[in-house]
Structure 1
Amino acid sequence: MRIPPFQWPPLMWLQATALDLAILTGHLLLYPTGFTQERRDADLPADTTKLPTEGRAHPPVLMVHGFVDNRSVFVLLRRSLSRHGWRHLEFINYSPLTCDIPTAAATLGERIEEICARTGHRRVDVIGHSLGGLIARYYVQRLDGDARIRTLVTLGTPHEGTSVVPIASAHPIVRQMRPGSAVMKELRLPAPGCRTRFVSFWSDLDPLMTPVGTARIDHPDLDTENVRVTGVGHLALPVHPAVAAGIRRVLGSERSAAGVDGAVSVA
């Protein structure tokens, strides 16, 4: 049974809030560095892209940031993955003026096609924080992106919509993240044969997910795993080492996890 947020001990809320504020302070310092595009690996020789990719250690990982953010939010996660053997790590920056999830999803698809053509890999893994996870999910379910995305990891993504901060609905893309929006209805449509594995890390102390648990994926046609994270807020999900360890477990595993729920405790 899900525990409503108001039942959590006040001390736990204070600790999670203090951690989020500390992370926000550090992130604001790094934020300007995220506006420029990252340095990409040199292109592979032409004949390399024709070689089969089976057996390579890991497919490329593309990270997609959230609303009014940029790639700087993934600095620590990228470092963690790199230290544990992931070699091809990339980001996509979309404009803070983006007003439409389907349009952003189409742009994401173009970037993934470019990565596959450049690296010779047929599929990629994607990590999306908040809105970034929703954009990637739309690409998978509505734009045939399941042919390209092997595993989609989402961090604090409002899969069922969030009703937090009503005044923010003035922005079109926030309205698309509301429960009952046209985008949310599309994502509830049947998705038979979807080939992407979905893993959602959701926090029971995430103040931007209203109601609590809306960042879980619940769809009968999707191969899903929901990982409950205890003790952190929204901003901590992409940077906390315990969450990073969980992501490494997911991306390093080939097992099907349909309908499985897990937990990560960072307290």
Structure 2
Amino acid sequence: MPVLLVRGLADRASVFTLLRRGLRGCGAGPVTAVGYSVLTPDIRVAARALGDEVERLRARSGGQPVCVIGYSLGGLIARYYVQRLGGDAYVPLVITLGTPHGGTATALLAPPHPLLRQLRPGSELLAELVEPAAGCRTRFVAFYSDLDEAVIPAGRARIDHPDLQARNVLVHGVGHLTLPIHKPVSDEIRAVLTETQEVTPAA
């Protein structure tokens, strides 16, 4: 099953180097990293672009479903795509790492970048993600850390939505930058991907 990796705002694709290595041999793939411009004005725009990437990858892989792993802001882009743009028809699993699903206090102090404004608690975009999502077929696994210096308070990296199939995984003692390179996290991601491949019908 193909996998798309979506980075955070200030990251390069290399942020996933160790995670990609950790996923070798689990049967998932190809594993492809996708990005977005720092000039992107809106998470919604990035989510639509992610949808285009999903379609391209499905076309190259015989119409197979695609799993998406999003780090930091990348996880919010992935969630918006499946929850609000119909991506749940093609993506059975979204895994997020240190994603501010409930916003973060750090965005209140950040420079006035359009994407960062959308990470402020109570933003219009985050309010959309609180709206009912009955029928969303995607399963979510959200990794969050008790020492995340980018998502404050840490619990805002959880997905607590009554309509979503979400499992929240607390990772102790690591910071925001460590989540995508932390071996226990990559080991758990391997296990989740393996399980998803076993229960997801092929194209």
CA contact (8 A) 1:105 1:138 kept: yes
Residue type of the partner of 2:112? A
Find the counterpart in structure 1 of residue 2 from structure 2: 60
What's the counterpart of residue 53 of structure 2? Answer: 111
Q: What residue number does 2:185 align with? A: 243
Residue of structure 2 aligned with 1:160, choices 94, 98, 102: 102
Larger radius of gyration: 1
Deviation track 1:215-259 (CA, whole Å, cap 9, x = no partner) reads: 000000000100000010001111111110011111111499xxx
Query: Is the 1:108–1:139 Cα contact (8 Å) retained in structure 2?
Result: yes
SS in 2 for 1:90: strand
Are positions 1:93 and 2:30 aligned together?
Answer: no
Deviations 1:99-151 (Å, cap 9, x if unpaired)?
21000000000010000011113310000000000000000111001011110
Matching of residues 1-267 of structure 1 within 5 Å:
59-164=1-106, 166-254=108-196
What SS does the aligned partner of 2:151 have?
coil
The one-letter code of the counterpart of 1:105 is A
Q: Is the 8 A contact 2:107 2:120 kept in 1?
A: no
Identity %: 55
**Matches of 2:177 and 2:7, distance apart in 1:** 11
Q: 1:87 to 1:137 in 2, by over 3 A?
A: closer
Asked whether the equivalents of residues 64 and 132 of structure 1 are also in contact (C-alpha less than 8 Å), the reply is yes
Q: Name the aligned partner's letter for residue 39 of structure 2.
A: L
Which 5+ residue runs of structure 1 have no aligned equivalent? 1-58, 257-267
Structure 2 runs not aligned, ≥5 long: none
Could you report, residue by residue, the CA deviation over 1:173-212 in whole angstroms, capped at 9, with x for unpaired residues? 1010111001100000101111000000000110111112
Shift of 1:84: 3.4
CA-CA distance at 1:166 after TM superposition: 3.0
Q: Within 2, Cα distance between the matches of 1:87 and 1:108? A: 17
Whole-angstrom CA distance in 2 between matches of 1:158 and 1:167: 15
Superposition TM-score, scaled by structure 1 size? 0.72
The number of residue pairs the alignment matches comes to 198
1:85 Cα deviation (Å)?
Answer: 3.3
CA contact (8 A) 1:74 1:238 kept: yes
3-state SS in 2 of match to 1:213: helix
Equivalent pair of 1:197/1:224 in contact (CA under 8 Å): yes
